[in-house]
Amino acid sequence: MHRTSMGPIVSASTALVATVAFACAGCTTNGPTPAAAPTAPALEPATASVPAQASGNPVSAADVQALWAPVAAAAAEGGYVAWGTVVDAQTGEVLLDADASVAHTTASTTKTLAAFSALTHLDPTVTLATSALLGGDNQTLYLDSEGDLLLGAGTSEDTDVSGRAGLQTLANDTAAALAQRGVTSVTLNWRGTLFDGASHLSSWDAQEVGSYEGHVGPMAIDAGRTFEGANDFYADAPGHVAQVFASALTSAGVSVSLGEAGEPPAGASPLASVSSAPMGEQLRWMLAHSDNTLADQYCRFAARAAGAPTTYEGATSTIESTLTSAGIPTDGLFLEDCSGLSSNDKISANTLVGVLKASYTGQGTGADTIRLLPWAGLVGTLSQRMNEAPAAGNVQAKTGSLQEVTSLSGSVRTRSGRLLLVSIGNDQVTDGAYATRGYLDAFEEGLAGLN
């Protein structure tokens, strides 16, 4: 959390976002489109977490296909589809092509596309400000935010990633600034919208996964959850933030009446501000914890920076155009969201591995994507998977999980140090995909064990 206390000092920065959710989520909110997010046309290429030169012993396609055989056999026996591809990162040789050109539902591995788009269009060093501003009448206080859904938190280093601590800090600093001005009573208004179109997809509710994602918008505590760890979100997260902020101000000695949602007037005087963690840190956190709301929030910011509508359609079309511009194949690509929560989303293994290849080679400004993925046995949704040698610390991947889908997309380092790019999954598992993900883990462990 970055804190800025302002008597008559100014607030702000501009850009990007935060949120929380797991993988497996209707409501419409329209409002003004805020100022354009800062773009990052000159991001330096990432220094990948792998060497640029070829290293380790080459891996044979026969060995990879032998490791894949149990995955394919289990799928045939279970009546579902196993898909995937493995590519030698150094040479580009395709070592496995299992239905790789066909688009499948890939669940949260979709977030690698979201991260690539965000890193292409947005500056990972930028933070988001949430500010309190006082109207010219000295009686109306405005709570404004650039899209921070964790209100100053959002990285793995934070002890409180909900944002409550940041909001409390903002309230304390605001109360102190009001006291300096002799103001003891205010009406609190707040920003209620940030993007165009729906803030939550109705198709998620139709698929009975609507409780796994909150609402995109200007601000939220814990991405809008009703309590820590909940798969239940406030329909009006900014309004809830305003209520909590008002309560904190009251405790600090300010008499507060709740007003209404709206934009602060021009010329409102900044009193205090808190800032989020940098965008790059929040994207790392999003990928590690498979945060659905954060993924869709960042996609809206990327769309705005790219000059597209700040709707779900604008966000997903920005992903597709970004991939195409980077030379990544998009055959069969169809997205309703950027989180992978909708089972209507379809992506091929070739598209997923294409993002990894572009990132590995430092192509474009989305090159940080591969570096931000969680590590097996160590981080986030992979912390309890593949947590023994040789895979632990040698598999870096984004997980995906829906009722009928399990997937992984990332990299594997072999015993000799060869880097492989791997996108794999099981789709249409009508008996439940959770029980089949062991086959995918065993495949990755087998790759890590190759000499």
Tokens read off for 376: 């097996």
pLDDT tens, the chain, 451 aa long: 444 433 322 222 223 233 323 333 333 333 333 334 333 333 333 333 443 455 899 999 999 999 999 999 999 999 999 999 999 999 999 999 999 999 999 999 999 999 999 999 999 999 999 999 999 999 999 999 999 999 998 776 677 889 999 999 999 999 999 999 999 999 999 999 999 999 999 999 999 999 999 999 999 999 999 998 899 999 999 999 999 999 999 999 999 999 999 999 999 999 999 999 999 999 999 999 999 999 999 999 999 999 999 999 999 999 999 999 999 999 999 999 999 999 999 999 999 999 999 999 886 667 789 999 999 999 999 999 999 999 999 999 999 999 999 999 999 999 999 999 999 999 999 999 999 999 999 999 999 999 9
Which are the contacts of 362, defined by CB distance < 8 A and separation ≥ 6?
45, 46, 48, 52
Q: What is the pLDDT of residue 203?
A: 95
3-state secondary structure of 407: strand
Place of tokens 């933030």: 241
pLDDT number for residue 365: 66
- Reported in sequence order, the residue ranges of 18-128 that DSSP labels E, i.e. its strands, are 27-28, 81-88, 94-98, 103-104
User: Can you tell me whether residue 86 is helix, strand or coil?
Assistant: strand
Running DSSP on this structure, what letter comes out for residue 233? Answer: B
d(CA 258, CA 141): 10
Phi then psi for 336, rounded to 5 degrees?
A: -95, -25
Long-range contacts of 96-102 (CB under 8 A, 24+ apart): 96/61, 96/64, 96/65, 96/68, 98/68, 98/72, 98/349, 98/424, 99/349, 100/348, 100/349, 100/350, 100/353, 100/423, 101/329, 101/331, 101/332, 101/348, 101/349, 101/350, 102/332, 102/348
Name the 3-class secondary structure at 434: helix
Report how far Cα 394 is from the mean position of its chain's Cα atoms: 23
Q: What's the pLDDT at 229?
A: 87
Domain boundaries, the chain: 2-42+125-281, 61-122+309-448
What class is the 61-122+309-448 domain?
alpha beta
For the whole model, what pTM was predicted? 0.88
Are 105 and 427 in contact, with CB atoms under 8 Å apart? yes
Judged on CB neighbours under 10 Å (0-12, 13-18, 19+), 244 is middle
